[in-house]
Amino acid sequence: MGADQILQYLLSGITTGSVYAIVGIGFNIIYSSTGIINFAQGEFLMLGGMISVSLSHSMPLAAAIAAAVIMTGLIGVLLQRLFISWLKNPAVLRMIIITIGLSILVREASLHIWDEKVHALPFWTGSETSSLAVLGARISPQVLWVLGVSALMVGALTLFFRHTLTGKAMRACASNATAARLCGIRTSSLVTLSFFIAAAMGGLAGCVVSPLTQTQYDMGTSLAVKGFTCAVLGGLGNVTGAVAAGLLVGVLEAASISVLPLAYKDVVALAIMLCILFFRPEGLFGGRAAAPAGVR
């Protein structure tokens, strides 16, 4: 394998990996504020892609994407308000089943609103044939969009959590909801906000990868599983950890193609996930003591 080929795998791995990272961050945001793992997280990417494809027929691409992101965010809020907000201290199993049920309802609704076909947003710049040369490897300009948008999202999120009052309140709420409430933080609206952010981020990621990987109504589940892998590998609740883990999983998955047939690509990512859960459930960066509840 030549150096340019390695670079090619690396770049394609980083591209898919950054999408997994976004899904993983979505898990983290909702998990931090509610303790819920939202199994419908992958569906937000599908919704973002689908809505923007539909809107792009009747408005400029940028406007369609912006509208799709906001609508996906609002759908996240709607799901939280309708199905989750009024449950008081639900059991973990109950929340798992409810969010799985929601993911199916979203998926089935999309199947009936759109169809079972594969849709794709037009390339943001250039077309599917245009490519850039990067150190000898050929990449689509869309790859740069994916990397740029992901980096921007992660950066914005970090700034938001570190430096804004709302972001700090969300962190307070995550570490101790009762104490946060005693300080006058309205935790319930922060939970809604966290669903909005997670859904909108998923929606934007769905838009940016749509030209490359296409959008189909049933793409959510495998994304959710892989995103969860990154969230766990990076340590649940750790945004930067999820990014590193996402890139790692993406690169490993891309490298597997050079060894195994393409059809086994998903198997590799999922096997990685099982191994991580079995051997390092506390994540790459956490100590044993940092292991969250649910792991012994």
Partner 1 sequence: MRRYAPVVLLAAAVIAAQLILSFLKLEFLLTQLTMSAYYTLVALGLCLLMGYAGQVSLGHAGFFAIGGYTTAVLSTAGAAALSFAPWLSLPAAVAATAVVALVIGVPVLRLRGHYLAMATLAFGFIVSRVILATAVFGQADGISDVPGIRLFAGLVLSGKRTLRVQNYYIAWALVTLGLLFAVNLIGSRVGRALRAIHGNEEAAAAMGIDVGRFKLAVFVLSAVYAGVGGACLVHFNAGIGPGEAGVMKSVRYLALVAAGGMGSPWGTVAVSAGLTFLSLRGAFGLYDDAVFGALLVGIMLFAPEGLFGLVARGRRT
Footprint on this chain of partner 1 (rule: CB under 8 A): 37, 39, 83, 87, 91-94, 96-98, 100-105, 107-109, 112, 221-222, 225, 228, 232, 261, 263-264, 266-267, 270-271, 273-274, 277-278, 281, 293-296
Report the C-alpha gap between 76 and 38 in whole angstroms: 10
State which residue, 106 or 149, has the beta carbon closest to partner 1: 106
Smaller CB distance to partner 1: residue 54 or 266? 266
HSE value, Cβ hemisphere, 13 Å, CA-based, for 174 = 19
User: What's the closest the beta carbon of residue 108 comes to partner 1, in angstroms?
Assistant: 4
Give the shortest CB-92-to-partner 1 separation in angstroms: 4
CB of 182 to partner 1, least distance (A): 27
Task: Report the nearest approach of partner 1 to the CB of residue 158 (Å).
Answer: 25
Q: Which is nearer to partner 1, 121 or 230 (CB)?
A: 230
User: Which has the closest alpha carbon to 21: 145, 154, 143?
Assistant: 154
Q: Which is nearer to partner 1, 57 or 88 (CB)?
A: 88
CA separation for the pair 131, 148 (Å, rounded): 16
DSSP line for 117-157: S-B-PPPSSS-TT--EEETTEEE-HHHHHHHHHHHHHHHHH
Q: How far is the CB of 214 from partner 1 (least distance, A)?
A: 18
Nearer to partner 1, 101 or 155 (CB): 101
Q: How far apart are CA 280 and CA 232, in angstroms?
A: 9
Least distance from partner 1 to the Cβ atom of residue 25, Å: 16
Strand partners, 109: none
Q: Is the distance from CB of 89 to CB of 187 less than 8 angstroms?
A: no
Helix 220-233 vs helix 3-34: crossing angle, to nearest 10: 90
Q: Which is nearer to partner 1, 9 or 228 (CB)?
A: 228
